[in-house]
Structure 1
Amino acid sequence: MTINCKGNLIDLSSPKVMGILNITPDSFYDGGQHKNEKQMLQHTENMLTDGATFIDIGAYSSRPNADHVSETDELNRILPIVKLILKEFPNTLISIDTFRSAIAKHCIEAGAALINDISAGKLDTEMLKTVADLQVPYIMMHMRGEPQTMQNHTDYDNLVKEMLFYFSERLAATKQLGITDVIIDPGFGFAKTLEQNFELLNKLELFKMIEHPMLVGISRKSMIYKTLNTTAQHALNGTSVLNTVALQKGASILRVHDVKEAVECVKLVELLRA
């Protein structure tokens, strides 16, 4: 199970870690934490040193009720950072966290390697065509509505069945356009209640039937800290526990704030498979 990133075949049969670099001021955990270029480069270097295979950069917060960001502002935030990181660390495999095709196109042309779309092409009708033209790996997430409204769309008759149908339909659309490297993301916390998040994690192995690599982004989310009656800042231990469960149930990529701990989870779970 491999994906082609800028000519490098990445083997996802051994799980990989994607480190998060948020450059938004209002992300739920690390918003505004990396205020200048020096801090962003230092954080990126730390994640690469700790074992991240990918660095995921986002300039539009997708937390519930997040502020709207114009396309111009998003591009002005993200493109200089992509160029900065690739100048300092040329071999970095950068994932662009955006649902806008124009942002994706500019960043891939600047040297980024993957597109990570929370809407699976549903918020920008040009996204799938753009991905097909660029021929880069595409991460498609399950979500209903948009970040500002998604928590109003949690009425499922059968959560997993409806999600499997969603991915089947979106994968058919990518296949028709000739997009070959597709990764699915169940979208923990997106248009799902706390209880639905745990139901999803409990049944995560069912998504293996899709036969595509799966990314899991559970890091420091409210399903952890609300359950434990704590905060995102104190949710690292819970994150490691649930990342371990996700790996055991078939996750190919862990998208995390804390790379070192996630890499340790991968190493230990891999030993259990040996």
Structure 2
Amino acid sequence: MSALPQSLSPSNPPRPATSPATARAWWRAVQPLAWTLLVVASAWVAGRALQLDAGSDAGYWIGVAGGAAMLALFVYPLRKRVPALRHLGATRHWFVFHMLMGVAGPWLILVHCNFRIGSMNAAVALFSMLIVAASGVVGRYLYGHVHRGLDGRHAELAELRAKLEATHEKLAVSLSLAPLVRERLFGFEQAALTAPAGNALALLWASARAARSARHDVRSLIDQALAAAPQTLEAKRRRQIRAHWRRQTTLHIEQTLGVVQLRAWERLFALWHVLHLPFVYVMVACAIAHVVAVHAY
């Protein structure tokens, strides 16, 4: 296969199909909402089936169980901050326990009140709990972008950059017969890595749009590069080269996007921490006031 012409340029490039990476990204985005709706719906069904009243014996003890589950949420942050507790089990297991209690607690409280709001004190306690639960869902989504798995290991920006740079030489050799593909790929990387941080949400949006555009252009340039190849190249070999180039370029674009967006996710996660703690304090204060009011009056 001879060197391809330098004058190739995309002309009405076809719209690429949704890649598996894009599908996984969409699922990660909607997964917290899907689980939240499932928890709320199941609590509504359970409450209607049992026809509970918060003042009944069953309703009272379900409320106690829900309150205990919410208190158990504090075991995970205490385990991280108290040196004596850090050796009690793996971080992954404690985080899973934290998430389970974060689901079980609100579910039991919703069943306890059967989606009915009584006194003003109960209403404030309920809505503060729902705010904390919703904040936890958002935090879990952000956590997944700045940590690897559930073991608490933070993704390192320097490590991601090193992996990205390690692919340069391999891509330069692999795409030597498609110089415009290589030029577009490395151009996207340079522009993305030098983009100003600015607003975290704006950076996420702009980098995602730039990545989509780069995938679009690269696929078109690959097709045109192969179209300009010698006619003696077998059709099977063309398909193999196309698949190989697409895998390499898609991986490189995803790696570049990961490096760029990690900065934005870290900023959002730090901001979430600042906002989440006041909600937790309000929830605890309201829960204590609710318990005292129930037993005193």
Q: TM-score, normalised by structure 2?
A: 0.23
More strand by share: 1
Q: Which has the higher contact order (CA 8 A, sep 6+)?
A: 2
More helix by share: 2
Q: TM-score, normalised by structure 1?
A: 0.24
Rg larger in 1 or in 2?
2
